[in-house]
Amino acid sequence: MNGSRLARLSRVTPQQLRAFEATARLLSVTGAARELHLTQPTVSVQLRELAATIGEPLFESAGRGIRLTQAGEALQQTAGELGDCWRRFESRLAELNGLVRGSLRIAAVTTAEYFVPDLVGPFAAAHPGVEIELAIENRDRVVERLQRGVDDVAVMMMPPGELPLERRPFLDNPLVVVAPAGHPLAGRRLRLASLAGERWLMREPGSGTRMAAEQHFAEVGFEPRVAMSLGSNEAIKHAVGAGLGIALLSLVAVRPPVGGAGAAPSEGLDILKVAGFPLRRRWSMVWRSDRPLTIAARRFIEHLSEARELRAPAGGRG
């Protein structure tokens, strides 16, 4: 890149880019000004100067609000890439000084919340210069974050096929059928078909657990009687415990790894012995293959790969 090609960039200030980034994200100049602790006219001037440098309008009005023009959208993407690029530079600089520094953004699906914090803890302690953000969301939201390139690493069961991703399976995630403790079917050897008349409690649409259940049911031609959808593993556990129905859940949600493979399921729940269960699934760590990893992210991936002692219990009782 020579100087003349960067002439336009050299006239763009970081302040203008910040004002633009916030306005583009919030689609509101007032909101951006509030977030940046600036006055609205200051933000407007920065946006006007930026548009003059670019030579194109960046926003246009849409009803009572504003939206990005095509040039604005292109700049939003470029500004994001510049930010990523700078983050990598800082982490490389830190590495040159023998330090791992910078930020590490992790997203994990809700079933992973039972063990990911335990894996993050020792990493955080060993890397005090790394500022860690951990988001726990359902599969759809994690996929959406991967699409936007929000996180350095995600932990999930079913990485999406349509994104450029590197994936590394690392932990078993058996899925089991749970019933209220003392359920008449508990302790008996069952076929899935014999559970057709039960009231099934499902996770919300967008959940990977629900997707895995639906895929399996479709494969074996099983049609559950769905009584209710609930938005979290804990809500399902409580509802099952209260006798509202049975459910397919990740074993780790029912029997957290703390107690080890022999630990009893959560109080009030029994794991049914259903032929073909537990379903054998795995969690993977995934990251965007089209972007370089930061040093902190590389270290974290190595750390996760070594985390054998926290492996989830290796199977259900079914």
Per CB under 6 A, residues contacting ligand PGA are 109-111, 138-139, 156-158, 203, 207-209
> In this structure, how many other beta carbons lie within 10 angstroms of the beta carbon of residue 116?
22
Contact assessment for residue 297 and residue 98, using Cβ atoms and an 8 Å cutoff: no
Closest to ligand PGA by CB, 91 vs 111, is: 111
Report the first-to-last Cα separation within the chain, whole angstroms.
62
Q: How far is the CB of 256 from ligand PGA (least distance, A)?
A: 15
**Which tokens is 19 given?**
């004002």
- In single-letter form, the type of residue at position 35 comes to E
At closest approach, how far in Å is the CB of 201 from ligand PGA?
13
| Choice between 82 and 235, CB closer to ligand PGA | 235
Min. distance of Cβ 36 from ligand PGA in angstroms? 34
Between 23 and 209, name the residue whose CB sits nearer to ligand PGA. 209
Query: Among 151, 199, 166, which Cα is nearest to 297's?
Result: 151
Residue 257: C-alpha distances to residues 3, 115, 228, 303 (Å): 57, 7, 28, 18
Q: Which residue is nearest to ligand PGA (CB)?
A: 208
- Judged by beta carbon, residue 102 or residue 208, the one nearer ligand PGA is 208
H helices then E strands: how many in the chain?
11, 14
Cα angle 87, 92, 149 (rounded to 5 degrees) comes to 35
Of the two residues 84 and 144, which places its CB atom closer to ligand PGA in the complex? 144
Taking the complex as a whole, how short is the minimal distance between the CB of residue 113 and ligand PGA, in angstroms? 8
Minimum Å distance from CB 285 to ligand PGA? 12
